[in-house]
A and B are shown apart, each in its own frame.
Chain A
Amino acid sequence: MSSARREAFLPSRAIALPEETARPPMSSERFWAIAFVLPYMVVFALFVVYPVYYGLRVGLNPVGYNKLVQDPVFYSTIWNTILFLTIAVNLKMLAALFLSGFFIRQEWWIRALSVIFLIAWAMPSIPTILSFRWMFNPEWGMVNAIIFELFRIEGPGWLTERHYGLGLAMMVHIWKSLPFWTLILMAARLAIPRDLYEAAAVDGATLGQAFRYVTWPSLRGLFLTSMLLSTIWSLGDFNSIYLLTGGGPADLTQVLATLGIRYLRQDQLDVALSAIIVAMPGILPIVWYLMRRLSQAKAA
């Protein structure tokens, strides 16, 4: 401890309360420790534990599931959710893996570009999602205007056709979250000792071999964790669908997150909760795996 800090601290001794000295120091420390974690414990109990308990209590009622499976939209929603998760998460993580290798390069312009690249993550998502929405508007948007100018044909109804709509929602989702995952993988790549690459180069390794035998073994664990986390977070992505297609046309681009919220807005809480609880068998193994990994990482 620097002596300056210590001196700045000394006067406080004079104002120590009398009972502090009377009690054994451990018990006062324990008292403060409990008092200090209490605010967070209260927040966690009131706004995580209780809502989850309440959600499960209402949501495990079979009536909600009966209504849910009778909704014809439910099956296309399940399919959309699976498509959204498999395609968007894989594309995003592969792009992040590739770009993390690109952005750790030392050229000045690549470093400058990496600062610009972060803007998608820095900006709130709503204005850019709405910008995409107007850009792909079939009648007035920029994309179809350019298609018309170049080819003299009418562009497709981007947001009024199921698979285009879903594909664009994935694109918007990737646009927003790609910088975050690139940054995470960049940090992991930078933590790999440089001499491993130098040794590989001396041995005449190609770029592909250096990736396969040096980069990938050190990234694999974090990459898998990132994939799984990204799957859970993408499952909860409401904005990319709701603000882009609104779930339309005819509810054909709904995913479980938007369907759940739709039921909630229609005051059908039990169906809303059923719509999200049906995803539990899918996410519980992921949660279990991540929790195990987390406690192991902390213990190590």
Chain B
Amino acid sequence: MNPVLASLTRYAVGLGVFVWTALPIYHLLIIALSPPQDAVASGLVPKNVTLENFTTVLSASHNLVSYFWRQLANSAFIAIMTSALTLFVAVLATFAITRLKIPGGRTITNIALLTYLIPAAFLAIPMYKTMGQYGLTDSPWSMILSMVTLASPYAIWVMNQASAKLPDELDEAAKIDGATPLQILRHVYIPLMAPTLVAIGTYALLLAWNEYLYAFLMLSTERQLTLAVALGVFLAFDDAPWSLLMATGLIYALPPTAVYYAFRRFLVAGLTEGSVKS
């Protein structure tokens, strides 16, 4: 291809990708900045810009956002607990599979991955019912436990790959020094796996914070909702204040996006390393 034409094509593709990616986010932003009674985007450039919606949300002074801080805390609690529990469950399992070489370790990993071959909305239905049987209806723990269930297989899989790169001699040397498995785990394994643990912890944190469907099913009272579900509640009102909804949505989207970009290198490395191999 003619080099001028080729580079023009690249610019066109680049522009297309940029508009495609940025437009919905830009639209979210300009609606969030419009006056509450006038959330109408008549064009690409907003006429009146105001921060009023953000002050309404942050001061919780509209009945749709009256539990804003409580719901933000719910989202944060669920995300942090999911992250911690996923790390706990997955580190132990991976250590047993890759370092202690438990028989059938490979099978355990493969069976864990079966979780992802059940479409999300399909697993959610019986999961919701069984959470009721376990007495966890409308409790943050129903969300935490289902998110740990969804995050762990990926965590174990990624950690298996990272773990395979640590030479076996490390454990051998520690064993000769008389270390117990618990000590090897704590003093050798966890420090060496730190970058992967960061990736997994972040992954589980974002998964739980961003989840809508499970939270929508399992949490029902206003005080227990996460922010994601609270955003959906706006839609139940015909005259939903869209600028307020967009402002709340923007505040809700900021923390995970910031966390994602801060840990992007870890997250992307974990994801792509595994996928190329299998």
Contact = CB atoms under 8 A, between A and B. Distances in A.
Interface of A: 1, 5-6, 8-10, 12-13, 16-17, 20-21, 25, 28-30, 32-37, 39-41, 43-44, 46-48, 50-52, 54-55, 58-59, 99, 102, 105, 107, 109-110, 113, 115-120, 122-128, 130-132, 134-135, 140-142, 145-146, 149, 175, 183-184, 186-188, 191, 207, 222, 225, 229, 232-233, 235-239, 243, 246, 257-258, 260-261, 264, 269, 272-273, 276, 279, 283, 286-287, 290-291, 293-295, 297-299
A33 B234 CA distance: 49
B145 A126 contact: no
A187 B117 CA distance: 22
Contacts of B14: 102, 109-110, 113
A36 B100 contact: yes
15 contacts: A10-B177, A34-B102, A40-B112, A41-B108, A44-B152, A109-B14, A118-B264, A124-B253, A126-B228, A130-B234, A145-B42, A229-B116, A236-B123, A243-B232, A283-B117
A291 B114 contact: yes
B106 A298 contact: yes
Given A40-B90, A142-B41, A191 B96 contact: no
Contacts of A124: 209-210, 212, 228, 252-253, 256
B117 A287 contact: yes
Contacts of A44: 111-112, 115, 149, 152
A109 B185 CA distance: 44
Interface of B: 1, 10, 13-14, 17-18, 20-22, 24-25, 27-28, 31, 39-44, 88-90, 92-93, 95-97, 100-102, 106, 108-130, 134, 145-146, 148-149, 152, 156, 169-170, 173-175, 177-183, 185, 187-188, 191, 206, 209-210, 212-213, 217, 228, 231-232, 234-235, 242, 245-246, 249-250, 252-253, 256-257, 260-261, 264, 268, 271-273, 275-278
A32 B264 contact: no
Contact of A276 (B24, B96, B102, B121): B121
A5 to B, nearest CB: 7
Nearest to B107: A295
Contacts of B249: 126-127, 130-131
B96 A54 contact: no
**What does DSSP make chain A's interface, helix, strand, loop or mixed?**
helix
B1 to A, nearest CB: 7
A133 to B, nearest CB: 8
A272 B271 contact: no
Given A131-B24, A273-B125, A123 B119 contact: no
B119 A37 contact: no
Contact of A184 (B13, B180, B188, B275): B275
Nearest to A113: B14
Given A13-B177, A264-B128, A269-B129, A239 B212 contact: yes
Given A12-B179, A40-B112, A126-B231, A257 B209 contact: no
B42 A191 contact: no
A134 B123 contact: no
Contacts of A36: 92-93, 95-96, 100, 102, 181, 185
Contacts of B260: 118, 122-123
A131 B102 contact: no
Contacts of A34: 96, 102
Contact of A232 (B117, B125, B273): B117
A116 B21 contact: yes
B187 A235 contact: no
A235 B119 contact: yes
B73 to A, nearest CB: 17
A35 to B, nearest CB: 8
B124 A261 contact: yes
Contacts of A235: 119, 121-122
Nearest to B108: A37
A247 to B, nearest CB: 12
A1 B168 CA distance: 10
A238 B120 contact: yes
Nearest to A243: B232
B74 to A, nearest CB: 15
